[in-house]
Chain A
């Protein structure tokens, strides 16, 4: 369980990297498309159901699916695993991480809903998620830090 906790935490950290990279890739694709005469307005933004105007648009689809489905799911699984993993403060860290992830989704939504300042916090919060995920992985890394279970102490939660 402990190694599951560690691997999940690393995967969440890696997912943050994917999120940043996917979005940056999309923006350069968008820039080139506009240079080639593409027009971006509300109607273009809302286009669905046909082929993609430029291939890098996949970046925003990846960002959306990762951010709204995959990462929250990983956060929930990490929290469940933490109940059994006996990582020191593992439950608290996993719960905080899930909290940050939920906040991140809400910030992303409100940014899309027309509050650009949310995007700024969204970008900063991403680094916080990355750091806490690495911290969680680090906590679960070393066998030596695990307190030996005893009959009186350590109920794990």
Chain B
């Protein structure tokens, strides 16, 4: 009797141990230190290139600033505040504003001008930063808390100084607790005009699309938004998607051209009808059209801009404009066929522990956060990356550089050079992209679904010889 009972208990305890021991081990192995530097995070991946291209030369991130201390051409002071946001629909939410509004003011500058933005944190309790999405700023101006600066605490100021090198549509947003601060409103548009300003013949409009608690808005307005344009006007609409997933944009009432993707002009774009444009999360699309006598509308999957006389809305065309074959080829300025480094960025998902929490977590090349790749490069390297998603849509965003798409699922790009900083990678898709490592520093290379990023879908590009004095943790939470 006692023997059988003891045997049962032993067998029961063995069963428990067999169930729980692997779980306990996996939990323990997933813990991360309270704070760490990105320079020591993840597994260095040399991509087939040299290990130490510049062993003697060492530069720290805070020294990678805009050279010279000239007088700024464009000077903006932004006050970040915890505030109530009221939509014209009457909806109210507790959010975050810049100078009392969300989105914050549109910043306009010309190529090469010195832009100075003073960010004062009045009442954002987690601290905040500003990241200049798509702009090749010097590394110290990139605005990533814990990587290129410390989060700006309440009552403090940080000054960003940079000279935007390329004209185009950009946006700025917080990169501290970004998966909360961006949806709550710490965002704004940045338009970089060519030297000498915009062509005066074209009406230039920003259409920053942002959802506040499920209500999609354009520049903060909802529904049908009348725009000051008359028939015959040529209009450029700069669509910016600040969300976590792709949106569709299309034009009712007239043909249009996709003039630019992210901040790069499409080379010789054809005029199209019956196509919708997919705007990647974090990405931009500049649509160009001439307002017809009967009026036109730019549809943004919910809200729309009404140009000229009121005209009927058309349903979204089924066919999508494919940038892989759109426009005409042009020189890239480098040879992607002879890369110095090749990297894989394969995104999967599996049940595991991350930071001690059980769940379904994103993996990069089979590894989980924090054991993600650190893509090591040296200045002037030509880099190729193969990006694959095996699960869900991932808008992949590389800081400080623009990438050119070479192929999708083996089909080569035959249209205009398709430059991106935010690339929509759908499940099952593989993109080959290339870029030139021409901006030294430590640069995030992550999913711009900010929820995914907060769940560990982040990697970074690390230049040889760059030291990172900032630490993630201890108040710096970039995602």
Q: A residues engaging B (CB < 8 A)?
A: 33, 37-39, 41-54, 68-69, 76, 79-80, 83-84, 105, 109, 112-114, 149-151, 154-157
Contact of B359 with A156 in the complex, beta carbons under 8 Å: no
Select which of B93, B301, B349 is within 8 A of A43 by beta carbon. B301
A137 CB → nearest B CB, Å: 20
Select which of B94, B360, B451 is within 8 A of A68 by beta carbon. B360
B174 CB → nearest A CB, Å: 11
B323 near A: Cβ within 8 Å?
no
Select which of A33, A79, A113, A150 is within 8 A of B391 by beta carbon. A113
Contact of B427 with A43 in the complex, beta carbons under 8 Å: no
Contact of A54 with B214 in the complex, beta carbons under 8 Å: yes
B349-373, CB < 8 A from A: 349, 351, 358-360
Select which of A39, A42, A52, A83 is within 8 A of B12 by beta carbon. A83
Contact of B214 with A49 in the complex, beta carbons under 8 Å: no
Contact of A109 with B360 in the complex, beta carbons under 8 Å: yes
Q: How far is the CA of A80 from the CA of B18 in the complex (A)?
A: 10
Q: How far is the CA of A43 from the CA of B94 in the complex (A)?
A: 21
Contact of B393 with A42 in the complex, beta carbons under 8 Å: yes
Select which of B4, B95, B360 is within 8 A of A151 by beta carbon. B4
B166 near A: Cβ within 8 Å?
no
Interface pairs (23), CB distance under 8 Å: A39-B301, A39-B302, A42-B245, A43-B243, A43-B246, A44-B216, A46-B243, A46-B244, A47-B211, A48-B451, A49-B179, A50-B95, A51-B93, A54-B214, A69-B358, A79-B19, A80-B19, A83-B12, A83-B13, A109-B349, A113-B391, A113-B392, A114-B427
Q: How far is the CA of A49 from the CA of B453 in the complex (A)?
A: 13
- Residues from chain A with Cβ under 8 Å of B386 in the complex: none
Q: How far is the CA of A48 from the CA of B213 in the complex (A)?
A: 9
- Residues from chain A with Cβ under 8 Å of B179 in the complex: 48-49
Q: B residues engaging A (CB < 8 A)?
A: 1, 3-5, 7-9, 11-13, 15-16, 19, 93-95, 179-184, 211-216, 241, 243-248, 281, 301-302, 349, 351, 358-360, 391-393, 427, 449-451
Q: A76-B19, A83-B15 are in contact. Are A52 and B213 (CB under 8 A)?
A: yes
B335 CB → nearest A CB, Å: 35
Q: How far is the CA of A14 from the CA of B352 in the complex (A)?
A: 27
- Residues from chain A with Cβ under 8 Å of B184 in the complex: 49-50
Q: How far is the CA of A67 from the CA of B247 in the complex (A)?
A: 29
Contact of A51 with B8 in the complex, beta carbons under 8 Å: no
A69 CB → nearest B CB, Å: 7
- Residues from chain A with Cβ under 8 Å of B4 in the complex: 149-151, 154-155
B233 CB → nearest A CB, Å: 28
Select which of B214, B241, B243, B358 is within 8 A of A53 by beta carbon. B214
Q: How far is the CA of A43 from the CA of B450 in the complex (A)?
A: 12
Contact of A156 with B302 in the complex, beta carbons under 8 Å: no
B22 CB → nearest A CB, Å: 12
Number of residue pairs A-B, CB distance < 8 angstroms: 123
Q: How far is the CA of A149 from the CA of B351 in the complex (A)?
A: 40
Contact of B301 with A49 in the complex, beta carbons under 8 Å: no
Q: What 8 A-B pairs have minimum CB-CB distances, sorted nearest first?
A: A53-B214, A83-B12, A42-B245, A46-B245, A49-B183, A46-B244, A51-B213, A43-B245
Select which of A46, A76, A154, A155 is within 8 A of B281 by beta carbon. A46
Q: How far is the CA of A156 from the CA of B213 in the complex (A)?
A: 54
Smallest Cβ-Cβ distance to B393: which chain A residue: A42
Q: A49-B180, A68-B360, A113-B427 are in contact. Are A43 and B451 (CB under 8 A)?
A: no
A87 CB → nearest B CB, Å: 13
Contact of B1 with A149 in the complex, beta carbons under 8 Å: yes
Smallest Cβ-Cβ distance to B247: which chain A residue: A43
- Residues from chain B with Cβ under 8 Å of A154 in the complex: 4
Given contacts A44-B245, A113-B349, A114-B427, 18 further A-B pairs with CB under 8 A are: A39-B216, A41-B247, A43-B216, A43-B246, A44-B216, A45-B245, A47-B183, A47-B244, A49-B451, A50-B95, A68-B360, A76-B19, A80-B19, A84-B12, A154-B4, A155-B4, A155-B11, A157-B8
A111 CB → nearest B CB, Å: 12
Contact of B214 with A41 in the complex, beta carbons under 8 Å: no
A2 CB → nearest B CB, Å: 14
Q: A43-B281, A44-B214, A49-B182 are in contact. Are A155 and B451 (CB under 8 A)?
A: no
Contact of A156 with B11 in the complex, beta carbons under 8 Å: yes
Smallest Cβ-Cβ distance to B244: which chain A residue: A46
Contact of B16 with A83 in the complex, beta carbons under 8 Å: yes
Q: How far is the CA of A79 from the CA of B18 in the complex (A)?
A: 12
Q: How far is the CA of A44 from the CA of B248 in the complex (A)?
A: 12
Q: How far is the CA of A154 from the CA of B3 in the complex (A)?
A: 11
Contact of B95 with A43 in the complex, beta carbons under 8 Å: no
Contact of A157 with B12 in the complex, beta carbons under 8 Å: yes
- Residues from chain B with Cβ under 8 Å of A69 in the complex: 358
Q: How far is the CA of A109 from the CA of B348 in the complex (A)?
A: 12
Q: How far is the CA of A79 from the CA of B15 in the complex (A)?
A: 9
Q: How far is the CA of A49 from the CA of B180 in the complex (A)?
A: 5
Q: How far is the CA of A25 from the CA of B328 in the complex (A)?
A: 51
Q: How far is the CA of A149 from the CA of B5 in the complex (A)?
A: 9
Q: How far is the CA of A149 from the CA of B1 in the complex (A)?
A: 8
- Residues from chain B with Cβ under 8 Å of A151 in the complex: 1, 3-4
